[in-house]
Amino acid sequence: MSATGPARLMSILGLLAAGPSEGTRALCEVAAQVTGMSGAGMMLLGDDGPRGSLCTTDSVSTLIENLQYTLGEGPCVDAHTHGSAVLEPDLADPDVARWPAFAPAALAGGAQAVFGFPVRIGVVRLGALNLYRNRPGPLSDDAHADALVMADVAARAVLALQADAPPGTLAAGLAAEADFQFVVHQAAGMVSVQLDISVADALVRLRAFAFRADRLIAEVAKDVVNRQLRFDSPDDQ
């Protein structure tokens, strides 16, 4: 999309209004459309790492979100942490080696290039927008500008959707397409009891176990919740 700032914003808002999808899914679909990417996803993140995925457009973008949630590394995590765009045009041959666990798994899943943009308003950091392409190559200047505008629109949309929700609850418009990995939080609570550690430390143990076993953290968490895996058992350590 080639346009000036205001025209670019109005065009994106028009696509959101006219599209077949609603809520957060529309944000991801339009993000991929205006930037010419193969797919997009959006994560909520806190200071302690990923909280969950708000939306994805396809199986590869879903995998990218799940990998970042499991491993605690990737373009969304870095974009949120540093507050600036993170651009990797060639995962297979990067200029700077990073994401030792995320990169090979994302490549195997079909992503050749990934780009992360912080989703925030001022100092309020909400998460990050992730874009991927199934071939290597940098973002064009227009695509980069569209992604920045899209991330800003996404931040305002998240706050607007959450504004009318009762305190301590998630707005229906956010929950509709979201995957907040509730089973992981349930499993972390169980592991914290088993090992007499904090829930935060239990989540670290879950991530480490998933990494060593080459599994997604949600899969490991389901085993814990179904009592097929205990962390206080010598056999499972």
pLDDT 10s digits, 4-41: 568 888 888 888 888 766 677 889 999 999 999 999 99
Range of the domain at 213: 182-236
d(CA 83, CA 125): 8
Task: Tell me the whole-structure pTM to 2 decimals.
Answer: 0.78
Overall number of domains in the chain:
2
20/61 same-domain check: yes
d(CA 174, CA 155): 12
Instruction: Name the one residue in this structure whose structure tokens are 């480490």.
Output: 208
12/114 same-domain check: yes
Q: For residue 49, give every residue at least 6 positions away whose Cβ sits within 8 Å of its Cβ, in sequence order, or none.
A: 72, 77
The CATH number linked to 53 is 3.30.450.40
Report phi then psi at 8, rounded to 5. Answer: -65, -45
User: Please, which pLDDT band fits residue 168 given cuts at 50, 70 and 90?
Assistant: low
Render pLDDT for 87-101 as a digit per residue (tens, 0 to 9): 999 999 998 889 999
User: Please, which pLDDT band fits residue 148 given cuts at 50, 70 and 90?
Assistant: very high
44/26 same-domain check: yes
pLDDT value for 109: 96
What is the DSSP secondary structure assignment for residue 235, as one 8-state letter?
G
218/115 same-domain check: no
Task: Look at 194 and 136; give whichever has higher pLDDT.
Answer: 136
